[in-house]
């Protein structure tokens, strides 16, 4: 289990208790970044995508992968980057050091995303197969409790099927962050990061959907930055926040409409 550490906000001096979220390794074991209780949290004033990730080694299989860097949102509005105890550690079985550590980390991260998405989609398909021939009136949505990134993808796949989308699968194009899902006529991005989705995240999803002549939906665990939400409203992109029960909560008008009526593009 991940360690809980005290985190003090340098802006308002509030004291927080923080535990880094665990994400599933490709081997199935939960992995959480080791936190450094001897260093102070720092405010996030400027984002660089590469800085939002940290290399963590799985204690079960020894593989190294890149996972979201721990962050905490203070009540005063400051986003805090929680320090991580980083170290090189011994080489894992699939580090791919012959091609450089950066290439190996990127390759492992993509493999982990693929495995997570494939497992989640398979679970969601099995859970809903019995109800494929149900009447037109949708039953109440039933999801899974979110404890890991895998649970977030499973919940999203279940929700897409509940809306009426069929043939939910891993998206052909990998998003810059999070995990991409696709169904007939739609692309969905699942963002399990501990920081709000950014304007760039929303725009990248929209541009990818445009190239495939598809609609797009965004599912985030941590919500959305103000400019990201404004752009999604302007583009008509439904935004959802996944709560810990696994239920997607609409946060803008396009999402409200979709949640109420479902999709009309579903196969019979």
Boundaries of every domain in the chain: 4-84, 109-127+141-261
User: Do residues 136 and 234 lie in contact, with contact meaning Cβ atoms separated by under 8 Å?
Assistant: no
Where are the extended beta strands (E) located within the chain? 4-8, 15-19, 23-24, 30-31, 42-43, 53-57, 64-68, 71-73, 79-81, 169-170, 179-183, 186-191, 215-220, 239-242, 248-250
Tens of pLDDT, residue by residue over 84-99, are 886 543 334 444 433 4
Q: What is the DSSP letter of 4?
A: E
| Residue 106 reports pLDDT greater than 50 | no
C-alpha of 102 from chain center: 22
How do strand 186-191 and strand 179-183 relate by DSSP bridges?
A: antiparallel
Which pTM does this prediction carry? 0.53
One-character DSSP codes across 171-204:
-SSPPSSSEEEEETTEEEEEE--SSPBPHHHHHH
Q: Rounded CA gap, 208 and 197, in Å?
A: 16
Distance CA 155, CA 172 (A): 20
- In the three-class reduction of DSSP (H, G, I as helix; E, B as strand; rest coil), residue 46 is classed as coil
β-bridge pairing 239-242 and 215-220: parallel
Could you give the CA distance from residue 173 to residue 170 in angstroms, rounded to a whole number? 9
Q: pLDDT tier at 71 (50, 70, 90 boundaries)? A: confident
The 10s digit of each residue's pLDDT in 117-170 is 555 555 555 444 434 443 356 788 888 888 888 888 999 999 999 999 988 988
What is the spatial distance between Cα 214 and Cα 128, in angstroms, rounded to a whole number? 24
pLDDT band with cut points at 50, 70 and 90 for residue 50: low
Identify the DSSP state of 264: S
User: Which positions ≥6 away from 116 have C-beta within 8 Å?
Assistant: 24, 149, 150, 153, 179
Among 3.90.1150, 3.40.109, 1.10.10, 3.40.1350, name the CATH number for the domain at 109-127+141-261.
3.40.1350
Instruction: Please indicate whether residue 78 or residue 87 has the higher confidence score (pLDDT).
Output: 78
Q: Is the pLDDT of residue 204 over 60?
A: yes
What mean pLDDT is reported for the chain? 78
Whether 70 contacts 52, CB under 8 Å: no
Residues forming beta bridges with residue 65, ordered by sequence position: 56
């Amino acid at each position: 289990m991940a360690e809980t550490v005290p985190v003090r906000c340098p802006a308002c001096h509030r004291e927080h208790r923080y535990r880094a979220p665990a994400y599933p390794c490709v081997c199935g074991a939960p992995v959480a970044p080791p936190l450094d209780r001897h260093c102070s949290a720092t405010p996030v004033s400027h984002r660089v995508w590469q800085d939002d990730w940290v290399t963590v080694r799985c204690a079960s299989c020894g593989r190294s992968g890149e996972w979201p860097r721990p962050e905490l949102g203070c009540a005063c509005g400051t986003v805090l980057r929680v320090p991580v105890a980083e170290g090189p550690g011994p080489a894992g079985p699939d580090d791919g050091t012959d091609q450089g550590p950066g290439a190996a980390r990127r390759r492992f991260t993509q493999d982990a995303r693929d495995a997570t998405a494939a497992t989640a989609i398979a679970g969601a398909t099995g859970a809903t197969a019995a109800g494929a021939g149900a009447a037109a009136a949708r039953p109440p949505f039933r999801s899974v409790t979110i404890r890991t990134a895998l649970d977030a993808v499973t919940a999203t796949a279940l929700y897409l099927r509940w809306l009426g989308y069929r043939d939910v699968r891993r998206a052909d194009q990998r998003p810059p962050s999070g995990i991409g899902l696709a169904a007939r006529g739609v692309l969905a991005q699942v963002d399990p990061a501990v920081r709000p989705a950014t304007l760039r995240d929303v725009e990248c999803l929209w541009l990818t959907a445009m190239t495939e002549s598809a609609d797009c939906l965004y599912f985030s665990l941590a919500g959305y930055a103000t400019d990201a939400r404004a752009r999604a409203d302007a583009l008509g992109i439904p935004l959802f926040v996944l709560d810990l029960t696994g239920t997607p909560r609409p946060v803008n008008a396009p999402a409200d409409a979709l949640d109420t009526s479902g999709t009309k593009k579903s196969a019979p």
